[in-house]
A and B are shown apart, each in its own frame.
Chain A
Amino acid sequence: MLERILLRLHTDDAGVEEPSITRDRLKAAFPLGTTRRMTQLGLMVGTALDRVEAGPADSVTYASTFGETRALEGYLDSYPGASPTLFQTSIHPSAVQQGRVVRQGALREFFPVAGGEHLVLSALLVALLEPSGQSIFCGGEERGTWLRERGLGSPRSFGFAVALGRKVGAGVPLGRLRLIEAEGGREDDSGGTLSLCDWFDLLHGRHSYAGAVGPGWRLELTWM
């Protein structure tokens, strides 16, 4: 069993909010003039990392299935005169890099996890196997346009970051997370899975959970 305490948490459920609205809503959190080229996902994840106090000694795990959907759409549509800015921005894991670069916020380790079905399990295993026990799990999606219509973009926008630790530090712990090998072993692929949206909704609503998270693993999430 792997276990961590939830030390700090920030969530942003932007839903179907347009990127320009998100920018107006969050730009005060960034240095003046730095948000013009930031993406909706970059704004949300960047804000979330700040709120959980990500610092240079941290190991950050970042999960997103679709990543920079709007930048990817824009970059693809920029051909044949490919846009260098949209090329950079479209590359996974630009969302985290945008927010950290404007703050000059180095990170010791940075594990951008991609993928679909078992993304949350993969990311949790990365975050929880970090040897120091202090890590941050962040992620999110931004609502796409033509890619979403073709099943390659998220229908909703959201971002989150949660700081995990082995010990309670300063402040009040928020909750506890346990990752447990399911009975029957990890070959068992029948128990269902927890999507990134599901995971976000648990965090955003402070909902407890005890159930499958991916093949052969159970998640227990409790709030204090």
Chain B
Amino acid sequence: MADPGNRVRIAATDCLTPFGDAAATLAALLRGERALKRVPVLGREGGDLVPLALIEGRALDESEPPEWLSPLSRLARSIPGEGWGSARRPIFVTGSNFGVGALYAYRRSLAAVTQGTASAAGLEPPKEDFLKWGDPGACVARLAREFGWGSQVTVFSHACVSAHLGLLQATRALEAGLADEALVFTFDFLSPFVAGGFHALKILNGEWPAPYENRPTGAIGLGDGAAYAVLGKGKGDLCLAAQNLHNEMYHVTGNRPDGSGFAACLEPIVAAAKGRRVWMKGHGTGTLEAGRLEAGALAQAFGEAPLVGWKGSLGHTLGSCGVVELSLAAQAIRVGRTPGTVGSRAPALAGAVAFDAFDNRSFDAVVCASNAFGGSHAAFLLAHA
């Protein structure tokens, strides 16, 4: 455990959601607003209407250059400091989709041209430029050039816990003395590729997500999201007091039915939170089994601490959710109000789910947790430095 006086701190953090930056997003969540809208799952090609939260003005279909590039560039250029990607200021880029939406657009338009159905489907001819975004390394290299970053860039892709890996590795680089500050930058923008995939799994259906609500059918929504966190040792009023990972490898899309995977991840977080009054920001996508296990494990670990989840409004921002929600939790601590579990109502699946916003000024810290395919779990304790 690091010396408490020398803990890695959050020097700066912000996010981008359909509501705007962290301040605007938190304000919207406190008002109970929902960013999700029903959109055809395959974009121009139609399909069932499913709840997606897209950045304003952006279509689900990919374009070249991507419509998300401009807002993402604005977020990147708002990061304080200079020299990102240099030796002492490494960058950890995390996500799960990167430019795969462009690859999807390329392949679908190529297939339509081959079949002679391109114009009927409203598809443009395939553009070779789409392929320049086609793998995570190529996508991040393009972004690094666009943002003026140096070469010290590490890319993590571990589905919906990706952003947590960036935070942990940035912390380790700082603690090893290999960096003065580290940037964790994360983004995931939706496309028919990922919407179609979750729709095929039948969890992205027509229903609105209601995280932790005990109801007959589960459902998720998906959302665009991007965020950053600057980590360092000198500046910042909040710190990552503990971080942990655990990978069950029990089932590709499921968790151990006894909830032991969730508990294993939370164990060191519980130890670090001892003596503190915490609230909890869970993963809470809106699926029933994972929601029940997660809420149960959090209640077992932290008793009556209030649990909230924000994906009922923002949708699941996939690989970016760990830092998007870190940014929102930090903002909530600063304004003294925690948004409730927007989109859900009693009864809860388990635990002390807070459906409404509450005053958090009597709390010392927040537990933030995320989960991913493969029974992957990640959690950290965000506390006053």
Contact = CB atoms under 8 A, between A and B. Distances in A.
Interface string A128-148: 011100000000000000010
Contact of B138 (A84, A88, A98, A116): A116
A97 B200 contact: no
Interface string B9-44: 000000000000000000000000000000000100
State which size class the interface on B falls in. 35 or more
A92 B196 contact: no
Contacts of B111: 77, 79
Nearest to B246: A108
Interface stretch (B52-60, B72-80, B150-158, B205-213): B150-158
B173 interface: yes
Interface in B293-347: none
B339 to A, nearest CB: 29
A152 B135 contact: yes
B135 A112 contact: no
Contacts of A76: 103-104, 107-108, 193
Interface string A91-135: 111100110110111111111111111110010011001110000
Contacts of A20: none
A35 interface: no
B253 interface: yes
A97 B252 contact: yes
A4 B42 CA distance: 48
B63 interface: no
B245 interface: yes
A92 B318 CA distance: 13
B172 interface: yes
A168 interface: no
Contacts of B253: 88
A110 B158 contact: yes
Contacts of A98: 252
B176 interface: yes
Given A92-B136, A104-B250, A186-B87, A112 B157 contact: yes
A83 interface: yes
Interface in A198-224: 214-216
Contact of B172 (A84, A110, A129, A151): A129
Which of B45, B104, B169 has the most chain A CB within a 10 Å cutoff? B169
Contacts of B140: 115
A151 B106 CA distance: 14
B163 to A, nearest CB: 13
Interface string B145-174: 000001111111111000001000100110
A129 B169 contact: yes
A102 B23 CA distance: 44
Contacts of B136: 92, 114-115
Contacts of A82: 196-197, 199-200
A131 B244 CA distance: 13
B151 A113 contact: no
Nearest to B42: A80
Contacts of B107: 76-77, 79
A111 B165 contact: yes
A87 B154 contact: no
Nearest to A215: B151
Contacts of A101: 249-252, 374
B47 interface: yes
Contacts of A104: 249-250
Given A88-B253, A101-B252, A101-B374, A216 B247 contact: no
Given A65-B135, A76-B104, A76-B108, 19 more contacts: A76-B103, A79-B104, A82-B196, A84-B197, A87-B201, A91-B96, A92-B136, A93-B157, A101-B252, A103-B249, A104-B250, A107-B249, A116-B135, A118-B154, A122-B154, A122-B155, A129-B173, A187-B86, A216-B152
16 contacts: A88-B197, A92-B136, A97-B249, A97-B374, A104-B250, A106-B261, A107-B249, A112-B158, A118-B151, A119-B137, A125-B154, A129-B178, A131-B172, A151-B131, A152-B103, A214-B151
Interface of A: 65-67, 72, 75-77, 79-80, 82-84, 87-88, 91-94, 97-98, 100-101, 103-119, 122, 125-126, 129-131, 147, 150-152, 185-187, 189, 214-216
